Amino acid sequence: MSSTQFDGDIDSFVSYLKSNRGLSANTLKAYRADLTACLHLFELRGVTDLNEITLDDLRSWMAVESRDHARSSMARKTVAVRGFFAWAYEHGVTNTDPAATLMTPSIPSTLPAVLTESQAEQLLDVAEQAVATNQYKGDGGAAAASGSGKAAGKTADKSADTVNRSEAPARADKRDNARVVAESQRNAAILELLYATGIRVAELVSMDIADIDFSNRTIKVTGKGNKQRVVPFGLPAQRALETWLEQGRPVLARTATDAVKSRAANALFLGARGGRIDQRIARDIVHRAAREAGVPDISPHALRHSAATHILDGGADLREVQEMLGHSSLKTTQRYTHVSIEQLKNRYGQAFPRA
């Protein structure tokens, strides 16, 4: 990221947002990058004072940025710039607010991509089957390793060192098998929890073990702006989580260094090296699971869309779904009713002879 002579003002604005608006770390990071890019462009044009920037300058910046960015990205960038200049004017950094009448690009209304209920069931079934398959392979490997150890013990002319050397690869294979099983248990738990609760991937990876209440079958979720909510989950998700916590998690935790282990001691989900899992890995897990299940490629967010749509199809109240998903606006949740209506129209067209 390029630095500018206005970095101090950007820092002050971001600090203000953090203290007063409760925005997420990802949003603050995006706003900082947007503002730095915008003001860097003006700096290249010879601007040395924020008071020199006019509405026409900002419109020119939007024209340049629009060449390489989607409307949704431009809408966020515009919000960041408008917020920055409003803050600068209110705090006496600038004499005027040139962005006061800067228009935010309209975003075309698109329906979220979702799986059908049967596709979602297939996705979760295949993930569950992968756990069983890997466990079977692991048991076979353990039996083979045991058999080779007994055979070595029966050979009288083998030295102890030779026996140890022959058993070392078997032990390594057993550890690898245990890791593969543990990762498949983790993946199944992640998929079940994402679909059961409709939580965001950022919320998933930040969860701690203590956030799960098995007695009430609920999770405590910390969402955007550090707002907390409690979300229920079903029996399949409970079983997958219990299997992961009791069997899989201890295996991956053992691979961590002491430093990593201390940082991830409370983390619900772990990566292959025993640290807290990150969003990239969680997304890869969902994409890979979709390929293996033979369903349309989806992201964790599309799984969230699917959960919301299926819950509404099942008769849930819109306000309840809003609370579950952590939407600040009911308008956002209403998008899923449009998906349900579109699916109903498609089924009607296929099934009704006078459609």
pLDDT digits (tens, 9 = 90+) for 224-283: 777 788 888 889 999 999 999 999 999 999 988 888 888 888 999 999 889 999 999 999
Report which of residues 96 and 316 the model is more confident about. 96
Q: What is the mean pLDDT of residues 324-351?
A: 57
- pLDDT band of residue 143 (cuts 50, 70, 90) is very low
Q: Is 220 known to be catalytic?
A: no
For residue 335, the model assigns a pLDDT of 60
Q: Is 80 exceeded by the pLDDT of residue 122?
A: yes
Q: What is the mean pLDDT of residues 91-110?
A: 82
Alpha carbons 340 and 330: distance in angstroms, whole number: 16
For residue 263, the model assigns a pLDDT of 87
Residue 268 has φ and ψ, to the nearest 5°, of: -70, -50
One of 224, 261, 283, 335 is an active-site residue; which one?
224
**pTM reported for the whole predicted model:** 0.62
- pLDDT band of residue 170 (cuts 50, 70, 90) is low
Most confident stretch, 233-237, 335-339, 351-355: 233-237
- Three-state SS at 107: coil
Most confident stretch, 132-146, 284-298, 302-316: 284-298
Q: What is the mean pLDDT of residues 81-107?
A: 89
**Which is nearest to 190 in space by CA: 207, 215, 175, 214?**
207
For residue 134, the model assigns a pLDDT of 81
Spatial CB neighbours of 141, under 8 Å, sequence gap ≥ 6: 173, 174, 177
**C-alpha dist (Å) from residue 268 to 186, 259, 263, 352:** 10, 17, 12, 47
One of 186, 304, 305, 310 is an active-site residue; which one?
304
Specify the residue for token string 């569950």: 128
For residue 58, the model assigns a pLDDT of 93
Show the DSSP H helices in the chain as ranges. 7-20, 25-44, 55-66, 71-90, 117-154, 160-197, 201-205, 235-243, 249-253, 258-263, 279-293, 300-313, 318-325, 330-351
Tokens of 264: 């991830």
One of 76, 82, 179, 200 is an active-site residue; which one?
200
Q: Is 60 exceeded by the pLDDT of residue 164?
A: no
Name the DSSP class of 317.
Answer: -
For residue 84, the model assigns a pLDDT of 94
Q: Please, what is the average pLDDT of the chain?
A: 81
- Three-state SS at 248: helix
Most confident stretch, 21-25, 267-271, 294-298, 316-320: 267-271
Q: Is 336 known to be catalytic?
A: yes
- pLDDT band of residue 206 (cuts 50, 70, 90) is very high
Q: Is 224 known to be catalytic?
A: yes
- pLDDT band of residue 111 (cuts 50, 70, 90) is low
Q: Is 327 known to be catalytic?
A: yes
For residue 109, the model assigns a pLDDT of 55
